[in-house]
Amino acid sequence: MSSRTKHLQISFDRLPIPCILTANLTKWAPPNRIIQRYRRLRQQHPDTHIQFTLAQPTFHEAMTVAAKAIDHRNKIHPHQCRLGRIALEAFGNRLQKYESQLLQAQSFDEILTVVRQAKVPKICKTTFYDTAHRIGLYRQIPPDRIYLHAGTEIGVKNLFGPLHGKKFLLLSEMPPEFQRPDLSASDLEDILCIYKGEFRVYEP
C-alpha cells in the first residue's frame, strides 16, 4: 500500500462487496446500505445448509451432513456443487474418524484444523471452512476471526492488493463502520465474499 491514504470506491450496479484493515470509506460507500442489503439477502435466502446441520439430532449426524454439504432437500451447497457427491461422501466418511477430536475442540480454529486433517482429493480450503463453520455452529463455537479463502480473499485483494501470506483478519481490522455487535465474523466473511466486486481501491 502506498504512503498516500487509500479510499474505497464502490459501484452499486453490481451485486458483490467488502473491506478491511485501515481504510477510509467515502460517501459513495455507505456501510449501512451494504449491511442492509446483506440483511435483506439473508432474510430472503437463509442458509438452509446451516439450518439442516443444526436440525440434526446427534453430533454424528450433524458432522456428516455438514461434510456432505447438503440441506433438507438433499441439495449440495453452491460452494461445493462442483465437487460432486462422490468426493463429498468420501470426505464425510473420512471426517467420521475425527469425531472425538471435533467434540473435544475448544475453539473454531481447532475445529478447522481437525477438519483439514480429513482431506481427500478435490476437497479444498473453502469446503474445509464451510464444513468447520457448520460444525462450529452446531457446537456453538462460531468463528471469531475472518478467514480468507476464495471470494473473501478476492474481496480483500480488490481493496488492499497482495495479502503477503495473511490467512485471516481480526474483527478489529475491519473499518469501524463494520465493527458492530450485530455483525459476526462469519457475517463479515459472507459480506466480503458476496459483494467482492463492488469494492475497488483507488488513489485520490
What pTM, to 2 d.p., does this model score? 0.79
Q: How large is the average pLDDT for residues 23-27?
A: 41
13, part of any domain? yes
Please give the pLDDT value at position 193. Answer: 84
10 Å CB burial of residue 140 (0-12, 13-18, 19+) is: exposed
Which pLDDT belongs to residue 28? 39
Amino acid (1-letter code) at residue 51: Q
**Is 124 domain-assigned?**
yes
Domain final position from 112, 138, 164: 138
Residue 2 lies in a domain: no
Read off the C-alpha cell for 82. Answer: 462442483
Q: 164 in a domain, yes or no? A: yes
Strands 7-10 and 24-25: parallel
Band of pLDDT at residue 30, cut at 50, 70 and 90: low
- What pLDDT is stored for residue 154 in this prediction? 78
DSSP state of 147: E
Residue 77's nearest CA partner among 47, 57, 112, 51 is 47
Q: How far apart are CA 63 and CA 173, in angstroms?
A: 31
Give the range of the structural domain holding residue 86, as residue numbers without chain letter: 48-138
Q: In total, how many domains does the chain have?
A: 2
Beta bridge partners, 200, equal 9
Q: Is residue 106 part of a domain?
A: yes
pLDDT category of residue 152 using cuts at 50, 70 and 90:
confident
pLDDT score recorded for residue 4: 34
Residues 6 or more apart whose Cβ sits within 8 Å of residue 110:
none
DSSP assignments along 38-91, one per residue = HHHHHHHS--HHHHHHHT-SSHHHHHHHHHHTB-TT-PBPTTTTTT-HHHHHHH
pLDDT of residue 32: 76
C-alpha cell at 181: 455487535
Please indicate, yes or no, if residue 100 is contained in any of the structural domains.
Answer: yes
pLDDT, tens only, 70-124? 999 999 999 898 899 999 999 999 999 999 999 999 999 999 999 999 999 999 8
Same domain as 55, residue 118: yes
Whether residue 89 is found in the same domain as residue 150? no
